[in-house]
Structure 1
Amino acid sequence: MPTTTKTTITFQQLGLSALILKALKENGFEAPFPIQEAAIPLLLKGVDVIGQAHTGTGKTAAFALPILTKIKIRRNGPIQALILVPTRELALQVTKEINKFAKYTGIRTVAIYGGQSIVLQYNQLRRGIQIVVATPGRLIDHVKQDSIQLDEVKFVVLDEADRMLDMGFIDDIKSILFYVSEDRQTCLFSATMPPEIMRVAQEYMHDAKEVMLNQEELSLDTIEQSYLVVPEREKFKHLCNFIKKRDKKQTIVFAATKQRTQRLANELKQEGFKAITIHGDLSQRERDNAMYRFKKGTDDILVATDIAARGIDVPAVGHVINYDVPIEPLMYFHRIGRTARAGGTGKAISLVSQDRVDDFGRILRKTEQPIRRLNEEMGIAVPTTQKRPYDRYHPRPSYSHNSGHRSRGDYGGNRNMRSYREQRGDNHSSTYGRDNRSSRYGRERARSYS
């Protein structure tokens, strides 16, 4: 059976080094979260681990702390740990967390991602790096140019593996693992476990132990969830009203497309709100500036698409508002997980237009916590359900930033979701064998991903 746990011990009892414990205490980490308590002892023993956990549950520390404990510090490197992530934002977030934990160890970590000068990355690498946190495309660029050597890597982490699968990185991951020694420890973290992810685990991991959060943790029960069914033309009015009444400032608003995020942000600013947007068409500098302003509170409303918001970790976020309902229930949970970070509390509100009632009904059937309908409380009649027009929110097959579709709807219409697979049932083994870890993969696409 999968490993689950409730926190009853301290970080010191987990067997971490004194220098790491000092940094944890300094940063206010008092006791491990469940995913940390379950995964850290296994990783310290050298066991391959498959972890199922949402962001905001402490998974970065779950793999980073044992890696930092086991790394051998050498003056000029070499790279001993490789952490693969799907987005630039997550690369920066993970690197920042690791650097906090590694403050007294002398271990150096660098983020490698597309959109940043590769020359700057060359210079960082020359200083001697022990841990690389990278997006697959830019890492392949460095490997091909021999600026990164992976032959001495002893630890590999695939973080948010389901999202890397959805973004089309699976072949790149296989190509990267070709360059890493088979004598390594591998860790895979994923919010969902579709069959493709389990095939990767079977082929590239050895007798992996599975660590899953218990149902209480997965249910996001520290978030007050509600929804309002209104006509599409009235959604913006209610969005403004909810923002005015919020008790905490920092708010993320999710929209279906890049066009809708930009237009929503502009209209919110016209109403006097401090709003900023983040989506795939922005340059790296624009994205970094947007996140800086949001984290500092200069702009307290972030309007985002699903793909751009992945990896955002701002503890002060008190509200998530779904301006557009996601297609799949699992994406709903990813979205609302931007609030109530690491044991905090938050609120999630969804604006459901008539043609989206069926989609939201699937979310209602999936959640284990009540989602309150606000229509009765607010005295707003539930509008008659309408069938969705063919050209609104037309699905597209992948997360590609460049494939656009524009509809005749108010805000445009491409919908950046690929169908998730259903999560596996309980009738599976908790260990996985590696049948042919030395398989060779030739598809080494030297492209940079934004």
Structure 2
Amino acid sequence: MATPIEKFSDFKINKQLLNAVEDLGYDQPTPIQQKAIPLILAGHDLLGIAQTGTGKTAAFVLPILMKAKYAQGTEPRVLILAPTRELVMQIEENIRELGKYTDLRYVSLYGGLGPKTQIEILEAGVDIIISTTGRFLDLYRKGKIPVKAIRTMVLDEADKMMDMGFLHQIKSILEIIPTKRQNLLFSATFHEKVEKLSEEFLEFPEKVEIAPQATTTDTIEQSLYMVPNFKTKVNVLMHLLEDEQAFNRVIVFVKTRKVAESLFKYLVRKLPEDQVKVIHANKGQNTRINSMEAFKEGNVRLLVATDVAARGLDVSMVSHVINFDVPLIYEDYVHRVGRTGRANHAGTAITFVNDAEAYHLGQIEQLIRMKIPVVEIPEAVVIEKTPFDEQQLILREIDDQKKKLDPDFKGAFHEKKAREFTPSKKNARGTDPNSQKNNRRGNTKRGKPIKGGQSPTGRKIKRSK
């Protein structure tokens, strides 16, 4: 029976790494570190399934630094691939902190910046490359990356790589690096595409799974509000943010860059401007880096973000994650809420759900194997009337969802159109008032939901007293 690992010195890693671990204040290894580090040090290929925020990055960085030992030659010996530049930067920070007492050289490669500085570092000689797949291939094709010495390869956040369509790029990289190497694959979920990739990428791997696939950590308290429209979502958000002591470091996730900008512009009018930052794909790289650093250092209270930041932001004291929009890639829910409750700290995840998002909520609840508790909207929050255009969009989305479930479903709009052209029901303007009335179902009147708060999907909009 193996001796239980209770402290980092039990891994028999060198003194330089132990000193760095001590400087960071790590008391004992997390479960993923306890299981993965000995296997990696022993040279096994590894398939690691672990939730975000469980110490997964250090689980492969520590043994890689131990095996690399010291700077050698000019050609890289370790290649770590990640799906986004933010995650590349996070891994680089881990290597910088844990390897600060070694002379190991490393470089981060990602787009959004000119490659000149990255090429200069490569030409000077590096031991470890951390890179996105696209930038690695770009520089390799320019003859700037020698690959013959690579003996360890890591795929981090493999599920996100599959979701983002990077399989072809990964296969291209596998064709150009040496076949004799140690392979490590880490993922928060283990869906079909990741399983297929693991079969092609790993040789006789050891599998380490810390929690059931696609679950959220026990340190995260989850809840949701059934909210009828965008304006009411804003009202609920502003009400929550009134509690500055509790909501002291908050990430608000939205689904598009347009929503991110709209919400950010509203928030900076209501809150001190230096308390709010926004990051999305249209923001320049330096702006995104500066915003994330300000948030991590505690200088910014509120960060509005698209899913570009869902896996690349490692902040241990995020008090709340608020899903302003429900993610359409259901695994992203796990990664979003994993920005809080990290390193065994307690955290809270709150989700706003409108009628069209209720279907996606159900899919997420199936994925994480739990029902997220519904919280009543507080009495102080004004429930706005849903604008006609927004209501039409919601109804169309609900129709589309029903058509996916039932191909014979013709849709509510088909039925309304048929009634609209019944001459006896037209008014003087040639429109059907009953049809317009039906289109306003789910709207609110005088601050209260119609029909006792019953939404078209059957979810109730509740108020707390």
Q: Same fold (TM over 0.5)?
A: yes
TM-score scaled to structure 2, two decimals? 0.78
Task: Write the mapping of 1:238-317 to structure 2, written as runs, cut at 5 A.
Answer: 238-246=236-244, 247-273=246-272, 274-317=275-318
* 1:348 aligned counterpart, secondary structure: strand
* 1:373 aligned counterpart, secondary structure: coil
Structure 1 Cα separation of the partners of residues 350 and 140 of structure 2: 44
CA distance change for structure 1 residues 237 and 6 in 2, over 3 Å: closer, same or farther?
A: farther
Structure 2 Cα separation of the partners of residues 370 and 13 of structure 1: 39
Please list every run of at least 4 consecutive aligned residues from structure 1 whose deviation after the TM superposition is greater than 4 angstroms. Answer: 5-8, 376-387, 391-395
Displacement of 1:80 after TM fit?
A: 0.8
Whether contact under 8 Å (1:55, 1:311) holds in the other structure is: no
CA distance change for structure 1 residues 284 and 216 in 2, over 3 Å: closer, same or farther?
A: closer
Whether contact under 8 Å (2:356, 2:397) holds in the other structure is: no
CA distance change for structure 1 residues 191 and 35 in 2, over 3 Å: closer, same or farther?
A: same
Once the two structures are overlaid, the 10-residue window that deviates more, 63-72 or 296-305, is 296-305
Runs of 5+ consecutive residues of structure 1 not aligned to the other structure? 396-450
CA distance change for structure 1 residues 238 and 381 in 2, over 3 Å: closer, same or farther?
A: closer
Displacement of 1:303 after TM fit?
A: 0.8
Q: Which residue of 1 aligns with 2:328?
A: 327
Q: Which whole-Å deviations, capped at 9, do the CAs of 1:15-55 have from their partners, x for residues lacking one?
A: 22221111111111121100111111111110000011122
Structure 2 Cα separation of the partners of residues 55 and 300 of structure 1: 22
The one-letter code sitting in structure 2 at the alignment partner of 1:81 is V
- Aligned counterpart for 2:95 among listed residues 94, 98, 102: 98
Q: How many residues align?
A: 391
Displacement of 1:359 after TM fit?
A: 2.3
Task: Write the mapping of 1:389-408 to structure 2, written as runs, cut at 5 A.
Answer: 389-390=395-396
Runs of 5+ consecutive residues of structure 2 not aligned to the other structure? 402-465
Structure 2 Cα separation of the partners of residues 216 and 118 of structure 1: 37
CA distance change for structure 1 residues 178 and 214 in 2, over 3 Å: closer, same or farther?
A: same
* 2:352 aligned counterpart, secondary structure: strand
Whether contact under 8 Å (2:51, 2:217) holds in the other structure is: no
Structure 2 Cα separation of the partners of residues 217 and 12 of structure 1: 31
Whether contact under 8 Å (1:375, 1:381) holds in the other structure is: no
CA distance change for structure 1 residues 74 and 34 in 2, over 3 Å: closer, same or farther?
A: same
Q: What CA RMSD, in Å, does the superposition of the two structures yield over aligned residues?
A: 2.8
The one-letter code sitting in structure 2 at the alignment partner of 1:262 is E
Higher helix proportion (structure 1 or 2):
2
Structure 1 Cα separation of the partners of residues 297 and 172 of structure 2: 39
Displacement of 1:198 after TM fit?
A: 1.9
Q: Which residue of 2 aligns with 1:420?
A: none
Structure 1 Cα separation of the partners of residues 84 and 19 of structure 2: 30
Q: Which residue of 1 aligns with 2:344?
A: 343
Displacement of 1:245 after TM fit?
A: 1.8
Displacement of 1:358 after TM fit?
A: 2.7
Displacement of 1:98 after TM fit?
A: 0.9
The one-letter code sitting in structure 1 at the alignment partner of 2:18 is L
CA distance change for structure 1 residues 393 and 280 in 2, over 3 Å: closer, same or farther?
A: farther
Displacement of 1:204 after TM fit?
A: 2.3
Displacement of 1:75 after TM fit?
A: 4.6
Give identity over the alignment, percent: 37
Q: Which residue of 1 aligns with 2:372?
A: 371
The one-letter code sitting in structure 1 at the alignment partner of 2:96 is N
Whether contact under 8 Å (1:39, 1:63) holds in the other structure is: yes
CA distance change for structure 1 residues 127 and 83 in 2, over 3 Å: closer, same or farther?
A: same
Structure 1 Cα separation of the partners of residues 367 and 135 of structure 2: 37
TM-score scaled to structure 1, two decimals? 0.80
* 1:261 aligned counterpart, secondary structure: helix
* 1:13 aligned counterpart, secondary structure: helix
Displacement of 1:392 after TM fit?
A: 9.3
The one-letter code sitting in structure 2 at the alignment partner of 1:351 is F
